[in-house]
Amino acid sequence: MLPVEDRHTMTESQAWGRIAMMLGGRVAEEIVFGDVTTGAADDIKRATRLARAMVCEYGMSSTLGPLAYGENEGSVFLGRDMTQRREDYSDDTAREIDKEVRDIIEKQYKLVQELIGEHRDKLDRIAEALLERETLDSEEIKAAIAGEELPNRERVNIPKHSGEDDTPAKSEREERPPLFGGPSQPATGEA
């Protein structure tokens, strides 16, 4: 996620979008590889947590209404997590909350499946760019999506301390091992 500005509040549409974004990696694995891995576990936990907060804390549920369900209890100083909640609702309401959370996640999962299906070519271009550079900034992402050549990266000149040798280390002078079985490439110092 590229930070644009610090946000202290989130709209409901931003929450829905954030859940979709968190599910993107899992959906991409499923579409590209036809299988899923444990790699998206943290994103799934975060998406589920946000969906539950939408329902239980933020009142962003059309089914359950603008109510807060569950009260935070405990203290971090007592070794408890701040997110521990005391249930102050019935078993029927708990089932409704679970259903609403599941519905939010499933709706966004289907949306992401459609989006990635429609834009598979862009996903592939970003994947290729990541294989080439490992990390991408916003301009590089835009170029990859548009199918354009990635912009050149400016090398940052870091001032050397007095007495430092500017001869490349032995490992920098040797050839890099082949990536994915391709031919070796001499190290150029550029990413």
Contact criterion met (CB below 8 Å) for 184 and 178: yes
pLDDT in tens, 13-35: 999 999 999 999 999 999 999 99
Least confident window among 76-80, 103-107, 172-176: 172-176
Mean pLDDT confidence for 36-42: 93
Burial of 88 (0-12, 13-18, 19+ CB in 10 A): exposed
Query: Considering the chain, what percentage of its residues have pLDDT values greater than 70?
Result: 68
Q: What share of the chain is helix, strand, coil (3-state, %, to 5)?
A: 50, 5, 45
Residue 55 pLDDT > 90, yes or no? yes
Q: Which residues are registered as beta bridge partners of 72? A: 85
Considering the domain architecture, whether residues 126 and 65 belong to the same structural domain is answered as: no
How many independent structural domains does the chain possess? 2
pLDDT of 106 over the 80 cut: yes
Same domain, 26 and 104: yes
Is residue 5 within 8 Å of residue 22, measured between CB atoms?
Answer: no
pLDDT at 156: 52
C-beta of residue 26 within 8 angstroms of C-beta of residue 36 = yes
One domain for residues 36 and 91: yes
Could you list the residue range(s) of the whole structural domain that residue 125 is in?
119-149
Could you tell me if 101 and 55 are in contact, meaning their C-beta atoms sit under 8 angstroms apart?
A: yes
Tally of CA atoms within 13 A in the half-sphere of 94 that contains its CB: 8
Count other C-beta atoms under 10 Å from residue 50's C-beta: 20
**For all residues of the chain together, what is the average pLDDT?**
80
Same-domain pairing of 134 and 72 = no
57-85: pLDDT as tens digits: 999 998 999 999 986 554 455 554 555 55
Does residue 43 belong to any structural domain of this protein?
yes
Distance from C-alpha of 100 to C-alpha of 74, rounded to nearest angstrom: 26
pLDDT at residue 186, as a whole number: 44
Do residue 90 and residue 133 come from a single domain? Answer: no
Is there a contact between 43 and 25 (Cβ–Cβ < 8 Å)?
yes
184 pLDDT exceeds 80? no
Between 178 and 49, the higher pLDDT residue:
49
